[in-house]
Amino acid sequence: MKNILRSIGVVLALTVASTAFCQDIAAVKQRMAQRLPQLDAARASGAVGENNRGFAEVRGGGGDAHQLVAAENADRTEVYAAVSKKTGSTPEAVGQARAKKIAENAAPGVWLQRESGEWYRK
């Protein structure tokens, strides 16, 4: 009986942890969606580019660009970690794959970084 109760407790704890994790990721994605217009404007102006690791990078501009990029990259780090945990990959591999998708979908004029490290405007 104790083993059954212990097993039920473990299942409940995992369920609660999983639910909290999903809610956390949902909150991260919501913050990212709210930030997207600012990020798009910063990319369009050339103040922010997208590097080959799946992160935004300040290319010019003031403190606002730095704060924007820091917040965005913190959220991307959480998302990449969550995806890597779910897929059995690494956060680095997830970020690199995301960088390729970002480059494919980027608007003309956005600064991007090739795998070699070279920056270019799309």
pLDDT tens track for 63-92? 789 999 999 999 999 999 999 999 999 999
Beta-carbon-side half-sphere exposure of residue 8 (alpha carbons within 13 Å): 5
Least confident of 2-16, 40-54, 81-95: 2-16
Backbone angles phi, psi at 58, to 5 degrees: -70, 130
Mean pLDDT of 37-56: 97
Cα separation, 55 vs 117, in Å, equals 13
pLDDT of residue 60: 82
Parse the chain into domains and list their residue ranges.
2-121
pLDDT of residue 5: 41
pLDDT at 17 over 60: no
Strands 111-113 and 48-50: parallel
